[in-house]
């Protein structure tokens, strides 16, 4: 035994290693879309990882300048295609602020209910694919099974399953019916115990914990430096949620907690913490929907908006809390019927920018764990 | 701390040819500053006035002024205040503004995107290249007078806009 050990030692001392440049992606199951990461590796150790973007670039901002204000909504849907409702709601709120438009109470209720359902759907997707990244296939199937029910509700309400064009400026596209309210209630009853079950299945799984703890640590300083928001910020232990701290819509009227990372399994702000924040956010979203679903007021579902929306000249920077962080729109209007400039600040764009900093010196397999925990959607990164 | 207090503080810290005054647009007003001092101003905002994060950098083309504007949105968790700082540059090729990457790492990709889309260069940027468009792409798409090239490396570029002011005419998304 001694002899073998000495032999190995001698080999590692004499062995010459070269750095190797590896392309991960753009077609790779673990990069969650068409992301290409150029990795410099020393054996199994990642020395440097540079994300290369643009494979899904559609120049959404240029498109927006050619159409009128309401026709931007379908483009906005296509940014973060796993949370279209939240995106479109963010855009609608930004334009309504410039129009100084009051949205009917009924529309606000419908919007928040739908947005929170979408948040659950998006986090379920994150939960499933993250499990898949870590080699747990069951989580993927469970996540998709439950997300399917949310998609069915959205199909009934908007006619589409992925890109809804539902959150219109001034309200919603269609009204909510008693049948849809019932199906949402049924879903809540079904889904409420599931989060705990999934935690037992995946979150507290020994293998999963070993793979994700102390990996990809993002501390608070990094968060501020990189302008990170949403789950990244909360995973680092900072209690900040736009829905709570700078509330919009009817969020001030509902009770919910803001889950933060605690460093329960290892370091504060590691991959496990971020995963856990997502799981607990699903429970909070259930709470919000439960509080609202029985009290939807009567009235119109869309405010008085003209056929052609003319936004007065001005500038506005508006942020909303999307599943992946704070989605911001910087709108400039020159008073004509079309947007002069629509700048979208996507949270994923900021999140993936940290990759090189947080993944130096880890194993290649841990890089996969880190990318998974950032929960990026390339439609939003590349726009 | 409110927007006006920040403006007063900035005006007492810097001279009037650095802080050019308030741009009173609705509903958000912004502070116009001189391009050559953006690094100092950012440092002052971060270290003295507790603006911990850079939320966004946007490039806007204003042919009517005429100017290229670079708009910085700083956010302070302490004051819960979003502060837009606007830099107006002459509307011509090769204009540049100081990079603030050494103060906020978030600026790295945001400045690259602004260069990619508007053609404004950032002096002192450690990795100054395009980010979303291919590296050999010609022109800067978000300029108002941008013409989509007919060909890119011998491949025809699908036309989304038939003529100025009409809706997109199909093509792939």
**Other C-beta atoms within 10 Å of A281: how many?**
25
Q: What is the pLDDT of residue A304?
A: 83
Average pLDDT over residues A231-241: 90
Which residue of chain A comes nearest to B81, CA vs CA?
A246
Residues from chain A that touch B106, judged by Cβ atoms under 8 A, are: 225-227, 350, 353
Q: Which two tokens stand for residue A7?
A: 């032999």
Q: What is the pLDDT of residue A191?
A: 92
Q: What is the pLDDT of residue A193?
A: 92
DSSP result, A171-237:
B-SS---HHHHHHHHHHHHHHTTHHHHHIIIIIT-HHHHHHHTTSS---HHHHHHHT--THHHHHTT
Q: Over the stretch A170-218, which tens digit does the pLDDT of each residue have?
A: 888 888 899 999 999 999 999 999 999 999 988 898 888 988 888 888 9
Average pLDDT over residues B125-132: 89
Average pLDDT over residues A87-104: 90
Q: In terms of C-beta distances under 8 Å and separation of at least 24 residues, what long-range contacts does A40-46 make, across chains too?
A: A41/A364, A42/A17, A43/A17, A44/A363, A44/A364, A45/A361, A45/A362, A45/A363, A46/A359, A46/A360, A46/A361, A46/A362, A46/A363, A46/A364, A46/A366, A46/A367
pLDDT at B166 over 50: no
Record the pTM: 0.88
pLDDT at A151 over 90: yes
Higher local confidence (pLDDT), A17 or B104: B104
Q: What is the pLDDT of residue A10?
A: 59
CA dist., res. A373 & res. A208, Å (int): 12
ipTM over 0.95: no
Q: Which two tokens stand for residue A337?
A: 């019927």
> For B155, which DSSP code?
E
Collect all residues from A whose CB is shorter than 8 A from any CB in B.
Answer: 53-54, 57-59, 61-63, 66-67, 71, 78, 97-98, 100, 224-227, 240, 245-246, 312-317, 319, 326, 328, 330, 332, 334, 340-341, 343, 345, 349-350, 353, 357, 382-383
Higher local confidence (pLDDT), A306 or B141: B141
Higher local confidence (pLDDT), A25 or A236: A236
Q: What is the pLDDT of residue B3?
A: 83
Name the residue among B25, B104, B173 with its Cβ closest to that of A58. B173
Residues from chain A that touch B168, judged by Cβ atoms under 8 A, are: 63, 66-67
Q: What is the pLDDT of residue A8?
A: 62
Q: What is the pLDDT of residue A182?
A: 92
Q: What is the pLDDT of residue A3?
A: 56
- Is B103 an interface residue toward A (CB < 8 Å)? no
Cβ distance of A317 and B84 shorter than 8 Å: yes
What's the gap in Å between the CA of A100 and the closest CA on chain B? 9
Q: What is the pLDDT of residue B167?
A: 46
pLDDT at A283 over 60: yes
Average pLDDT over residues A258-270: 87
Best to test chain A binding among B46, B58, B167 (most A CBs inside 10 Å): B58
CA Rg value for chain A: 22
- Is B86 an interface residue toward A (CB < 8 Å)? no
- Is B129 an interface residue toward A (CB < 8 Å)? no
Residue A382's pLDDT band, with cuts at 50, 70 and 90, is confident
Q: What is the pLDDT of residue A11?
A: 63
Name the residue among B77, B109, B142 with its Cβ closest to that of A353. B109
Q: What is the pLDDT of residue A18?
A: 80
């Amino acid at each position: 035994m001694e002899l073998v050990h000495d032999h190995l030692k001698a080999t590692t001392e004499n062995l010459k290693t070269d750095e190797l440049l590896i392309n991960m992606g753009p077609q790779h199951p673990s990069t969650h879309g068409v992301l290409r990461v150029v990795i410099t590796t020393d054996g199994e150790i990642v020395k440097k990882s540079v994300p290369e973007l643009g494979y899904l670039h559609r120049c959404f901002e240029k498109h927006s300048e050619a159409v009128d204000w309401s026709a931007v909504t379908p483009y906005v849907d296509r940014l973060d295609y796993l949370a279209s409702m939240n995106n479109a709601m963010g855009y609608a709120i930004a334009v309504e602020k410039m129009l100084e438009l009051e949205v009917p109470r009924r529309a606000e209720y419908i919007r928040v209910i739908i947005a929170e359902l979408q948040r659950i759907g998006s986090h379920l997707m994150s939960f499933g694919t993250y499990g898949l990244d870590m080699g747990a296939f069951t989580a993927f199937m469970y996540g998709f099974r439950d997300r399917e029910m949310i998609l069915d509700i959205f199909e009934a309400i908007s006619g589409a399953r992925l890109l809804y064009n539902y959150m219109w400026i001034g309200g919603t596209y269609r009204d909510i019916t008693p049948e849809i309210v019932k199906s949402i209630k049924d879903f809540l009853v079904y889904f409420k115990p599931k989060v705990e079950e999934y935690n037992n299945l995946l979150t507290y799984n020994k293998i999963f914990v070993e793979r994700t703890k102390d990996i990809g640590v993002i501390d608070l300083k990094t968060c501020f430096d990189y302008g990170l928001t949403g789950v990244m910020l909360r995973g680092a232990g900072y209690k900040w949620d736009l829905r709570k701290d700078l509330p919009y819509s009817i969020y001030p009227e509902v009770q919910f907690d803001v889950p933060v990372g605690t460093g329960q399994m290892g370091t504060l702000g590691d991959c496990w913490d971020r995963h856990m924040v997502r799981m607990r956010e699903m429970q909070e979203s259930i709470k919000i929907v439960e509080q609202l679903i029985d009290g939807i007021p009567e009235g119109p579902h869309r405010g008085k908006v003209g056929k052609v929306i003319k936004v007065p000249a001005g500038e506005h920077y508006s942020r909303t809390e999307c599943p992946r962080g704070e989605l911001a729109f910087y709108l400039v209007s020159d008073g004509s019927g079309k947007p002069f400039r629509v700048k979208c600040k996507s949270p994923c764009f900021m999140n993936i920018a940290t990759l090189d900093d947080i993944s130096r010196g880890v194993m290649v397999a841990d890089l996969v764990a880190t990318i998974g925990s950032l929960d990026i959607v390339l439609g939003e990164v590349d726009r | 701390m409110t927007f006006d207090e920040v403006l007063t503080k900035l005006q007492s810290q810097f001279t009037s040819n650095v802080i050019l005054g308030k741009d009173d647009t609705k509903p958000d007003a912004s502070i116009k500053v001189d391009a050559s001092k953006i690094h100092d101003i950012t440092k002052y905002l971060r270290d003295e006035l507790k603006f911990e994060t850079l939320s966004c950098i946007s490039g806007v083309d204003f042919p009517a002024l005429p100017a290229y504007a670079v708009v910085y949105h700083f956010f302070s968790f302490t004051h819960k205040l979003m502060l837009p700082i606007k830099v107006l540059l002459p509307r011509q090729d090769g204009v540049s503004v100081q990079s603030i990457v050494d103060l906020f790492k978030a600026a790295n990709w945001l400045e690259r995107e602004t260069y990619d889309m508007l053609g404004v260069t950032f002096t002192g940027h450690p990795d100054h290249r395009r980010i979303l468009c291919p590296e050999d792409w010609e022109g800067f798409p978000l300029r108002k007078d941008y013409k989509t090239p007919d060909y890119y490396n011998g491949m025809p570029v699908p036309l989304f806009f038939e003529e100025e002011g009409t809706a997109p005419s199909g093509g792939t998304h």
